[in-house]
Amino acid sequence: MTVFRHDRAYTSAPNTIIAGDVNLYYRDWGKGRPVLFVSGWSLGADSWGYQMMALCRRGLRCIAFDRRGHGRSSDPGGGYDLDTLADDIAAVIEALDLRDVVLVGHSMGCNEIVRYLTRHGSARVRQVALLGAMTPGITLSPSNPHGVDPALLEQFRSMELLHDFPRWIEENLEPFVPGAGPRMRDWLAQMALQCSLQALHDCNVAVQESDMGAELEAVDVPVLLIAGARDVSAPLDLTARRTAALVPDCRLVVYEDAAHGMFLTHVEQVNGELLEFVRADH
């Protein structure tokens, strides 16, 4: 067993990092500058395979992990708030001693990355790429008058997630990856069905309650923001445009024909953007 300096994280078995009360499964491919991928809600490390292979074949080290309660990571029965999830990112970074790392997040993973920077700083981080970001916040509030009514979000949890989640997945895969084939949809559905129902519920609440405007203004590394104009989960004007206006050093790229799962439906475009961004001198 190898113990690292971070008192919450050490490796106990191949492809496993222990962070406090949770075993985090991770994949680590290639060599070179590290790129750490943080998946969206209900997805895991597998969802980043097309990006990881493209980048590691071009001389980069690509790491992705399953969030607690997702995939092959353990389900500790709690810790699905953004602070703890950000600490899990820190555990992975420090256990693997990643430096000059590029953080890439999708959907909820973007919130976790921003909170990581707030809690742990950017000393180990070179750049950040956010895809389909749910930041700065999606919920109706005095500071977000065009947000989603919290009652609708609670209705999703009560009437869909906790009532018939498999049916909800089946009905919502088309808006997530428009035009995707049946095997792609089955693959995504199986990933989501591996997750702890508590994790899905509590992570959804964490996203609903987040208001990250001040945190985005404090981001001190270059940010690439990729958004889809057809994204119904993270509507462009509610999320990406507001995020781009708040982050000091941000480049917003909008795919007019893309939805929330653009990293799967627009693989070549996304991979090209990421590779160009990672290799740029900043």
* DSSP bridge partners of 106: 131
Q: Are strands 223-228 and 101-106 parallel, antiparallel or unpaired?
A: unpaired
Q: Is 164 a catalytic residue?
A: no
User: How, if at all, do strands 61-65 and 34-38 pair?
Assistant: parallel
Query: Could you report how far apart the first and last alpha carbons of the chain are, in Å?
Result: 37
DSSP characters over 101-168: EEEEEETHHHHHHHHHHHHH-STTEEEEEEES---S--B-BTTBTTSB-HHHHHHHIIIIIHHHHHHH
Decide if 141 is catalytic: no
Candidates 106, 231, 233, 266; catalytic one = 231
CB 224 within 8 A of CB 131: no
H or E segment to which residue 200 belongs:
helix 197-209
Among residues 47, 107, 196, 210, the one annotated as catalytic is: 107
Rg of the chain on CA atoms, in Å: 17
Q: Which phi and psi (to 5°) does residue 281 adopt?
A: -90, 125
CA distances from 60 to 28, 183, 278 (A): 11, 29, 9
Tell me which of 70, 106, 260, 266 is the catalytic residue: 260
Q: Is 266 a catalytic residue?
A: no
**Residue 274 in contact with residue 51, Cβ under 8 Å?**
yes
- For residue 54, give both structure tokens: 């493209």
Q: Catalytic amino acids?
A: 107, 231, 260
